């Protein structure tokens, strides 16, 4: 009986020993597999141009030129989209001496600062996918969007936010005078089809020009869009008033950027609704952004009822830039006239251009 007990004890020991070894090996193998699994791709990506989209195209440091884009970025984050930047200059690259501060002022967090990204994520209670890997330098936006398409689950779930209406779809070379680079509704040499003036478009990666629509990505112009704007020869009136010149894609030194009103109105359009359905996301308007903005709130624009003092008409232009939100300054003409109510002082006369 004693011998039987010893045999049973020995067999039990062997069983337990091999069971523990097998379990530890299996556990290690599972952990190893987990660590080798690639992070899940996001469903979508919102890609921001910088000049004229996150800035007003004027000269100055990041805080002086940045616009408030919090409504759009919070909408994208809430929808589960990654946040990308497409640059054509030094912004947010290794050559950026301000280290992408423009994104901090526009979004409420710096896309290249992990601590700020985490803090913003905590406040929004949503994960934020962004960083250096989500910054692409490419003058051709269609090519850039194709690069971003490889980073998301569905390659057709990219959304470009860009003020340049001649290059928003595809990669038309606006710097080549021999290229035909029309707006989505035609060029100054065509009979424009104003039915094609929209607040969002579907585009191809390899479109020859903006009239060549597709379904590779969605584009939201970062500009005021109003089909009722008077057509001015040589100028694209329907988007941004006279703020965009036809000449080789060059722009005047002012742009709305993707401010809250422009973003929220674009969220109600067919192209964005189609993207929501196809990508199973919910991009929508944001009325009260949660993230804090460090941009100075602009004063109420009261140039008619309370005209500002001036020495020259330049003071009047500067008043409009500083205090009148995102009005297109070239849509107005400026005079510095004697104040009849207070002789010896001068005040601005700001009038909307009629031609």
Q: Are 85 and 137 in contact (CB under 8 A)?
A: no
Q: Within 13 A of 346's CA, how many CA atoms are on the CB side?
A: 12
Four-point Cα dihedral 129, 109, 170, 186, nearest 10: 140
The CA distance from 70 to 92, in Å, is 18
Domains of the chain: total: 2
Distance CA 57, CA 29 (A): 55
- C-alpha pair distances (Å), 286 with each of 69, 224, 259: 11, 18, 11
Q: Which of 279, 307, 340 is the last residue of a domain?
A: 279
CA distance 115 to 310: 45
Q: What is the pLDDT of residue 159?
A: 98
Helices (H) and strands (E) in the chain, counts: 9, 8
Q: Which residue has the tokens 């070894």?
A: 21
Per the CB < 8 A criterion, the answer to whether 223 and 243 are in contact is: yes
Please check whether residue 83 is in contact with residue 73, taking contact to mean a CB–CB distance below 8 angstroms.
Answer: yes
Asked whether residue 30 is assigned to any structural domain, the reply reads no
pLDDT at residue 59, as a whole number: 61
Classify residue 13: in a domain, yes or no: no
Is residue 2, in this structure, part of any structural domain at all? no
Residues 210 and 163 in one domain: yes
Please check whether residues 158 and 60 belong to one and the same domain. Answer: yes
Residues 253 and 121 placed together within one structural domain of the fold: yes
Positions of the chain with pLDDT under 50: 7, 14, 18-37, 240-244, 246-253, 298-299, 355
CB-CB contact of 219 with 162 (8 Å): yes
In terms of C-beta density within 10 A (0-12 exposed, 13-18 middle, 19 or more buried), how is residue 55 classed?
buried
Note whether 130 and 176 are same-domain residues: yes
Q: Which of 279, 312, 329 lies at the terminal end of a domain, its last residue?
A: 279
Residues 6+ apart with CB under 8 A from 281: 43, 44, 79, 80, 81, 157, 275
Q: Is residue 153 part of a domain?
A: yes
Position 225 in a domain = yes
Assigned domain for 55 exists: yes
Domain enclosing residue 89, as ranges: 44-279
Contact 347, 334 (CB under 8 A): no
pTM as predicted: 0.73
From CA 240, how far away is CA 221, in angstroms rounded? 10
CB burial string 154-178: b at 16+ within 10 A, e below: eebbbbbbbbbbbbbbbbbbbeeee
81 and 49 within one domain: yes
226 plus 324 within the same structural domain: no
Based on the fold, state whether residues 60 and 137 are members of the same structural domain. Answer: yes
Place of tokens 């030129």: 65
In the listed set 233, 252, 279, which residue is the last one of a domain according to the structure?
279
The pair of structure tokens assigned to 97 is 């001496």
Structure tokens at 56: 């007003």
Residues 151 and 119 in one domain: yes
Task: Specify the 3-state DSSP secondary structure of 267.
Answer: coil
> In this predicted model, what pLDDT tens digit does every residue of 171-219 receive, in sequence order?
787 777 677 777 787 776 667 777 888 999 999 999 888 888 889 999 9
Summarised one tens digit per residue, pLDDT across range 74-85 is 999 999 999 999
Q: Is residue 17 part of a domain?
A: no
Q: Are residues 163 and 304 in the same domain?
A: no
151 and 210 in a single domain? The answer is yes
> Is residue 243 domain-resident?
yes
Work out the angle between the directed axes of helices 70-78 and 114-124 (0-180°, nearest 10): 70
Same-domain status, 203 and 320: no
Determine the pLDDT at residue 6. Answer: 57
What's the CA gap between 295 and 97, in Å, rounded? 20
Shared domain check, 319 and 189: no
């Amino acid at each position: 009986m004693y011998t039987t007990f010893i045999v049973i004890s020995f067999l039990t020991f062997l069983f337990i020993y091999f069971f523990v070894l097998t379990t530890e090996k299996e556990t290690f193998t599972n952990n190893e597999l987990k660590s080798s699994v690639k992070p899940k791709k996001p469903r979508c990506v919102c890609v921001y141009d910088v000049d004229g989209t996150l800035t007003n195209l004027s000269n100055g440091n990041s805080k002086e030129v940045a616009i408030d884009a919090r409504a759009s970025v919070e909408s994208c984050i809430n929808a589960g989209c990654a946040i990308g930047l497409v640059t054509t200059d030094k912004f947010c690259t290794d050559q950026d001496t301000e280290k992408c501060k423009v994104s901090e002022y526009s979004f409420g967090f710096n896309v290249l600062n992990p601590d700020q990204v985490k803090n913003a994520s905590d406040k929004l209670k949503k994960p934020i996918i962004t960083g250096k890997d989500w910054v692409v330098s490419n003058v051709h936006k269609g090519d850039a969007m194709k690069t971003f398409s490889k980073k998301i689950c569905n390659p057709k779930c990219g959304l470009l936010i860009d003020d340049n209406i001649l290059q928003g779809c595809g990669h038309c070379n606006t710097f080549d005078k021999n290229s035909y680079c029309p707006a989505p509704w035609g060029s100054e040499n065509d009979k424009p089809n104003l039915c094609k003036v929209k607040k969002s478009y579907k585009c191809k990666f390899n479109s020859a020009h903006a009239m060549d629509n597709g379904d590779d990505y969605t584009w939201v112009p970062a500009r005021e869009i109003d089909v009722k704007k008077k057509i001015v020869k040589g100028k694209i009136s329907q988007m941004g008033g006279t703020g965009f010149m036809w000449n080789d894609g060059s722009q005047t030194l002012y742009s709305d950027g993707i401010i809250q009103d422009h973003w929220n109105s674009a969220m109600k359009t067919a192209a964005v609704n189609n993207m929501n359905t196809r990508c199973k996301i919910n991009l929508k308007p944001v009325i009260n952004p949660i993230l804090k903005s460090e941009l100075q709130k602009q004063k109420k624009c009261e140039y008619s009822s309370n005209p500002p003092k001036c020495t020259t008409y330049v003071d009047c232009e500067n008043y409009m830039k500083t205090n009148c939100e995102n009005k297109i300054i070239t849509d107005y003409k400026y005079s510095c006239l004697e104040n009849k109510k207070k002789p010896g002082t001068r005040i601005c006369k700001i009038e909307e251009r009629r031609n």
